[in-house]
Amino acid sequence: MNVRRWIRNLFYDGAKQDRLGDGWRPVGGRTAEEIDKPSRFLLMERARDLERNSDIVESAIGAISRNAIGANGIIPQAHVLKANGDEDERRNDTIEALWREWCRQENCDVAGAQTFSELQSLVLRRRIVDGEVFVRKIYVKGRFPLRLQVLEPDQLDKSKIEHQGRKVYEGIEVDEYLRPVAYWFLPDPLKDPIRVPADEVIHLWHRKRPTQVHGVSELAIVMQRIKDTKEFIDAELVAARIAACFALFVRTPNPGGFTGRMDKNSANQPLQSIEPGMIQYLGMGEDVVEAKPNHPATTAKDFVGLQQRLSGAGLGMSYESLSRDLSQVSYSSVRQGHLEDRKNYEIFQRYLVEHFCRPVWEAFVESVALSGALKIPDFYGRERYVSARWITPGWQWVDPLKEVNAATQSLLIGASTLEEICGGKGADWQEVLRQRAREQKFAADLGLTLGGSPPEPTQEEKEE
């Protein structure tokens, strides 16, 4: 046996360099930026094209956004504690009330176009499609000084390569540890770039390699498959339209002319196209071959379904979530698939909480404290006042009765808490209890009794 060939095939089949594997020679030995830079912009533009024109891409992004963010977005619950460790309810309620007011589009968005929950959807979408998105914190005068400006990768100054001895990777200035120091933006192509310190910018992207500085479109792994599927469907539609134009051709034995009608265009020329149901007469001696249309193809549905399944797998989604096709599932299978999808959505939720919502919340609390809208005399203990829990959108099950019974048993045996159960549905457990108490009190005033323990009467009510 040839020693060289034996060494080639040693240890890993995936490293074979024989006749079947010799053509597989990927580029290696380079940093992530060296590999990504030549393709990053093209991948982003292709992903945007699919976002505009592909229903598969829009379905995937819509499913992730609906489940990770929902209609109301990810909501904070202030968690300020008193010196004795108890919840400071009064201060927490004040901070949350200010937050709800700030979340309006005129207060949080520097462009005044979107609410904070809508900004969450926007930055998540751009992270998936473009690969990265930038949120700049801007401060103005007023009751709510903090404003957010969303910037795209296109607005980075890609001409600068160095600043004061530090490398600049297409607009991102980093130190020797690749930690961002500043961002160079070109808000106006006709003006000079501006240097924004890193602590004023939130950079949202998915890091896959230690040497990576920029993000790459998360559609990169599936975009060729989605593009091919779209072209296949378009080709099938064109073929089906042509097949629907199957015409009846008639030969006449009259050499002197046509007994039927021959359509002509405005230039008195014979028509060169066919239409559904038309009859075209031919001259003597001319003949045609019978057309046998076979479109749409009977295998088209299976092919498209397979491509959707593989595309969903590449994006971490089940086929049912991507295609919205539940015709082939049972309760058990759809539940198992939904559980797997939840794990994927929870990753997006946790990412948004840690990398977007929490930094914005901390900047918001600090800004309203410094502006005087929030009265905190000892704000030097900043960490105490910026603490918060985050309520993410939850999910409902196909069979709510089973879910309620399971939650009840889990709560009774102490395996779960009301906070976990309510949080799983995207609800604030404290607000649930407050609302429940209000409902029970209102029902009691009417002489009715609701399920659960009725609220204890206050001292004033007892005296009355």
In DSSP notation, 333-366 reads HHHHHHHHHHHHHHHHHHHHIIIIIHHHHHHHHH
Question: 86 exposed, middle or buried (CB, 10 Å; 0-12, 13-18, 19+)?
Answer: exposed
* Crossing angle of helices 55-68 and 300-314, rounded to 10°: 40
pTM for the whole structure: 0.79
Give the Å distances, CA to CA, from 266 to 269, 270, 279: 7, 10, 19
Return the pLDDT at 259: 47
DSSP state of 290: P
Vertex 205, ends 201 and 206: CA angle to 5°? 150
Return the pLDDT at 462: 55
pLDDT in tens, 118-174: 999 999 999 999 999 999 999 999 999 999 999 999 999 999 999 999 999 999 999
Give the Å distances, CA to CA, from 211 to 31, 36, 179: 6, 11, 10
Please give the chain's pLDDT, 464 residues, in tens: 455 555 555 567 777 777 777 777 787 768 888 899 999 999 999 999 999 999 999 999 999 999 999 988 999 999 988 888 888 889 999 999 999 999 999 999 999 999 999 999 999 999 999 999 999 999 999 999 999 999 999 999 999 999 999 999 999 999 999 999 999 999 887 789 999 999 999 999 999 999 999 999 999 999 999 999 999 888 888 887 777 776 555 555 555 555 445 556 556 666 556 565 555 555 655 665 555 556 666 678 888 888 888 898 889 888 888 888 877 777 777 777 888 888 999 999 999 999 999 999 999 999 999 899 998 877 766 788 899 999 998 777 666 677 777 778 777 887 778 777 777 666 777 777 777 777 777 788 788 777 655 455 555 555 55
Q: How many other β-carbons are positioned within 10 Å of the β-carbon of residue 312?
A: 22
- Lay out the sheet containing 201-205: strands in order across: 146-151, 132-139, 201-205
Give the Å distances, CA to CA, from 414 to 175, 260, 275, 421, 424: 49, 88, 72, 12, 17
Give the Å distances, CA to CA, from 45 to 37, 217, 307: 14, 9, 22
Listed in sequence order, the residues at least 6 apart from 383 whose beta carbon sits closer than 8 Å to its beta carbon are: none
